[in-house]
Homo-oligomer: A and B are copies of this chain.
Amino acid sequence: MEIISENKCFDGVQGVYKHTSAVTNCDMTFAVFMPSAAEIGPVPVLWYLSGLTCTHENAMTKAGAQAWAEEAGIALVFPDTSPRGDGVANDDAYDLGQGAGFYVNATQTPWAPHFQMWDYIATELPSVIADNFAVDMDRQAITGHSMGGHGALTLAMGLPGRFKSVSAFSPICHPSASDWGRKQLGAYLGDDQSTWAQHDATLQMQAVGFDGPILIDVGTNDQFLDLLQPEALAAAAAKRRAEFSLNLQKGYDHSYFFVSSFIADHISFHADALYRD
């Protein structure tokens, strides 16, 4: 693991790091915020998965999360959203290929050799984090924005016991029924839609649910609300009688101005779950 940069930030350290991934077969960059509490002992971890076109950098610089993570004594991990580089397949569209990994393990040509983001987030990067930072991997939570909200929800439900809590800003809630989803799941996983189900938060809520609290915030002026379909996830959560909160926040859109307005609520929500035991 190579240190790209480390900056003091709210008494903690905001770092950017690079490593060679055996899962995505390329170099991967990620960011970690370590609160000052980590100088005393291992701290809980909150994963933040980003949306379409983002790298490790967007949330690190625009979400305003570090102040609250310092206060709560929680580490933040900001992974990249896809493999990258000249040798990695891509597409001219913003919503497929590099910057648009959708947190799945691709099985289809030309994506399969590198686009293994599920395993990268679920297995490889956690090992790197556990080996290099003062974190308590028995206390993890996960959040994300848009495509990253989709990733947070599906990883939380797909890895039972891993995360104490899950939240999302403006998540893609039902990708197998959305233009943000059908194209990408088809490209990465093929036409057999039975392989898509584990990557659809609404279908996962119907099938397996989540053993912990769930918090979703979406802006009522979100220009992509029809693509996100939070109502489908809310219906599945109510049917399952899950511990679930959906807030439709008046006047907010899909941007990081929305994320930053509610990041304190989300970190407080996760802190409650992470420090419950």
Q: Which residues of B contact A237 (CB under 8 A)?
A: 231, 248
Q: Which residues of B contact A231 (CB under 8 A)?
A: 234-235, 237-239
Chain B nearest CB from A251 CB (Å) reads 8
In the complex formed, the residue of B with least CB distance to A213 is B250
In the complex formed, the residue of B with least CB distance to A215 is B247
Chain B nearest CB from A222 CB (Å) reads 8
- How far, in angstroms, from A86 to B230 measured CA to CA in the complex? 49
- Mask, A207-247, CB within 8 Å of B = 1, is 00000010000101100010001111011011101111111
- How far, in angstroms, from A237 to B241 measured CA to CA in the complex? 19
Q: Which residues of B contact A242 (CB under 8 A)?
A: 220, 248
For the complex, is A107 an interface residue (Cβ under 8 Å from B)? no
Q: Which residues of B contact A109 (CB under 8 A)?
A: none
Chain B nearest CB from A206 CB (Å) reads 12
B243 contacts A245, CB within 8 Å? no
B238 contacts A230, CB within 8 Å? yes
- How far, in angstroms, from A244 to B248 measured CA to CA in the complex? 5
8 A Cβ contacts from A7-24 to B = none
In the complex formed, the residue of B with least CB distance to A250 is B243
Chain B nearest CB from A170 CB (Å) reads 12
Q: Which residues of B contact A247 (CB under 8 A)?
A: 244-245
For the complex, is A249 an interface residue (Cβ under 8 Å from B)? yes
A238 contacts B245, CB within 8 Å? no
- How far, in angstroms, from A185 to B87 measured CA to CA in the complex? 66
Seed contacts A225-B241, A244-B248; 10 additional CB < 8 Å A-B pairs: A230-B238, A231-B234, A231-B235, A234-B234, A234-B235, A241-B248, A242-B248, A243-B248, A243-B249, A246-B246
- Chain A residues proximal to chain B, CB less than 8 Å: 213, 218, 220-221, 225, 229-232, 234-235, 237-239, 241-250
Q: List 27 A-B contacts (CB under 8 A).
A: A218-B238, A220-B241, A220-B243, A221-B241, A225-B241, A229-B238, A230-B238, A231-B234, A231-B237, A231-B238, A234-B238, A234-B246, A235-B235, A237-B248, A238-B246, A238-B248, A241-B248, A242-B248, A243-B248, A243-B249, A243-B250, A244-B246, A244-B247, A244-B248, A245-B245, A245-B248, A246-B246
